[in-house]
Amino acid sequence: MKKVVIIGNGAIGLCSAYYLQKEGFDVHVVSACKEGAEDSCSYGNAGMIVPSHFTPLAAPGVIRQGLKWMLKSKSPFHIKPRFNKDLFQWLRLFYAHANQENVDRSKHLLKDLNLTSRDLFNSIQEEESIDFNFERKGLLMLYQTAKYQEEEEKMALQAKALGLDVSIKTKQQILGLEPHLTPDVLGGVLYKSDAHLNPTVFMKGMETILKAKGVHFHYNSAITGFSSHKNSIEGVYTSKGKIKSDEVVVCAGTWSAALVKQLNIILPMQSGKGYSMTINGVPKNLQHPSILCEAKVAMTPMGNHLRIAGTMEIAENNLCINKNRLNGIKEQVPKYFQNFESDWFKHITPWVGLRPVSPDGLPYIGRVAKWKNLSINTGHAMMGMSLAPVSGLLIAKSLATSSPSLDLSLLKPERF
């Protein structure tokens, strides 16, 4: 039986483990986290499963809008200015990809990956009998201004052209869809193709079923280096000793770039810091996950809880909280809902996570050319939860058959 070491137990690592064990590999998940810790990016995210997000982060207009936001301390986007070679390289590549050509090249793939992944969540829930509150109610894009109405309506037309089930809603229709919080909006767009889940319940459930299926977990075992011979990786060194392996899959989120640098692989990546706050037992809840378009805030009902998430700060790999940006989120939400009370934010401990962000808005998935038994599965930015099952499946198929079902050339880890 071939032994695979997966580095990282975030959503991408766990889903890779799930499909690799299905292919008959002896799977070992190695993580820097303690057992039971919920401190990776995969726990506090908004849990949105998003075929609607077919536009990559690097798209026309993003740089102009980003520069405007840079000047505001409470805005949803910020790049922390610093002298850093990796940041300069990432910015250069982001600038080169923020165009229509990149959108046209990526949109079919992103839509297909997200749709496949959504269906895989469904299969996991049914096959494994774990209930992670997966619901297919769609996603609402809510806008308050004519500018965003125009933008969202254009996007809805593009989505329809791609075959997605999408409809534009008037203010009255939105009030009908969301009777409890009473949205104060001009209208919205409902993406019926989208879904949502509770990330923490999904992560805990997956780890439990993986253990039951014989996957080995090595906690508290930060990878410190690799053991190699010629162009082959023989194993990994961890803070607890060496683990031999026939194959290595790097799923270490935003920390992946530093890890593979040790193997002379350049993986342009920046951390996209974001925050979330969960109001447990919220008095009035949303019926649909929603994105507040002008504010760039995501809100997801999770049973009788409501999770509110936002900001993208391209910053260093630390979990410091910028209070201004957190307050920016808190101030925006009551502006969109007449029945939302600011007091509900009282006594809530904010969560912070680091998204692994590639410069062209596409993840890195597949084998690397330099090493015959090394694969990478990371760089999913704002879609890591949504794309986790399909990314895991693609990695498993590429290790098992050397011929994945989808053309992965756009996702090659060494594409830059």
Ligand X SMILES: Cc1cc2nc3c(=O)[nH]c(=O)nc-3n(C[C@H](O)[C@H](O)[C@H](O)COP(=O)(O)OP(=O)(O)OC[C@H]3O[C@@H](n4cnc5c(N)ncnc54)[C@H](O)[C@@H]3O)c2cc1C
Which residues of this chain interact with ligand X, rule CB under 6 A?
A: 7-13, 30-33, 40-42, 45-48, 222-223, 251-253, 255, 259, 274-276, 298, 309, 353, 355-356, 378, 380-386
Nearer to ligand X, 42 or 149 (CB): 42
Nearer to ligand X, 49 or 62 (CB): 49
Strands 247-250 and 374-378: parallel
Nearer to ligand X, 53 or 149 (CB): 53
Nearer to ligand X, 99 or 287 (CB): 287
Residue nearest ligand X, Cβ-based = 384
CA distance 158 to 155: 5
**Residue 347 dihedral angles phi and psi, to the nearest 5°:** 65, 15
Q: Could you write out the DSSP letters of every residue in 36-94?
A: T---STTTSS--EE-TT--S-SS-TTHHHHHHHHHT-TTSSEEE-----HHHHHHHHHH
118 and 50 in contact (C-beta within 8 Å)?
Answer: no
Tokens standing for residue 49? 């499963």
Q: What is the dihedral of CA 161, 167, 170, 173, to 10 degrees?
A: 180
Nearer to ligand X, 358 or 398 (CB): 358
Sign of the C-alpha dihedral computed for residues 26, 30, 34 and 36 taken in this order: negative
242 and 235 in contact (C-beta within 8 Å)?
Answer: yes
Nearer to ligand X, 182 or 228 (CB): 228
355 and 274 in contact (C-beta within 8 Å)?
Answer: yes
Minimum Å gap between C-beta 309 and ligand X is 4
